Structure 1
């Protein structure tokens, strides 16, 4: 399987695992020459809060996503490794939005971070990572860090 495009899903709590996300992404992107698409999905409330703090004149969701600290940290690592990247921003359900972007960019692999969760925790609280694993149009690399 050739890997031409990687999609890296970045969530609001991924600052805790940015080093692992960056490491796993670079480990695949460099030898394959893959382009990396970083996607940040906002809730409507989170987007409006972020937007008001940024003082932008008519920005796109992509513009707002580019200002995310975790996105910027990943960009720095990707630049240092010579990896081509771009940023996409979306508003809505994270699982649905990541799957939609994966389809749009014709991703060959999706990289998503998450925590260890008990089976009960998954059943009661749901899991964006699990939703992506089950719905993505391509293989998913789940980068796990820490425990709940």
Structure 2
């Protein structure tokens, strides 16, 4: 089976691991002239969104939006008008990956999704027909995995393609 597409799943906590993750991706993608898809999933949490602190224009103090105010903002600025791939492209870890890949000659794309991170990564891997998925994560105890879940474990179990896990130091 030829490897044509490698999906690199990154999240906000990968800052310290991104260099190692890119090294692994390049080891696979560069010799095979494969395309790298940088993927980031924005967790969907409506409760968090409706109570987030948003500074008012010209104000340095945070302002907590009520559910009605949040709904009014969504009416004024519908989320459908925004391309999730463009939003994800501004994420810090995605930018770090882009900066590093830009100098290598490897073709890359940025893809994003909104939802549960593990399921989102698996869906993106399926959507782009990934031949390999690269993920990372931090060390967690078995108890932490049960309580908080593990995105990497979810991807390892559900991925439509082989998964390479980049260990945390």
Q: Given the two structures, how large is their TM-score scaled by the length of structure 1?
A: 0.86
Alignment deviations for residues 114-136 of structure 1 (CA, whole Å, 9 cap, x no partner): 11222232223210000000000
Classify 1:117/1:30 alpha carbon distance in 2 versus 1 (closer, same or farther; 3 Å): same
**Counterpart for residue 81 of structure 1:** 104
CA distance in structure 1 between the partners assigned to 2:49 and 2:108 by the alignment = 26
**Counterpart for residue 139 of structure 1:** 162
SS of residue in 2 equivalent to 1:6 = strand
Alignment check: 8 A CA contact 2:12 2:92 kept: no
Indicate the structure with greater helix content: 1
Q: Number of residues paired by the alignment?
A: 142
Q: Given the two structures, how large is their TM-score scaled by the length of structure 2?
A: 0.76
Indicate the structure with greater strand content: 1
Which segment drifts farther, 83-92 or 120-129? Answer: 120-129
Higher radius of gyration, 1 or 2:
2
**Counterpart for residue 4 of structure 2:** 4
Instruction: Determine whether 1:94 maps to 2:81.
Output: no
Question: Which 5+ residue runs of structure 2 have no aligned equivalent?
Answer: 56-76
Which segment drifts farther, 32-41 or 56-65? Answer: 56-65
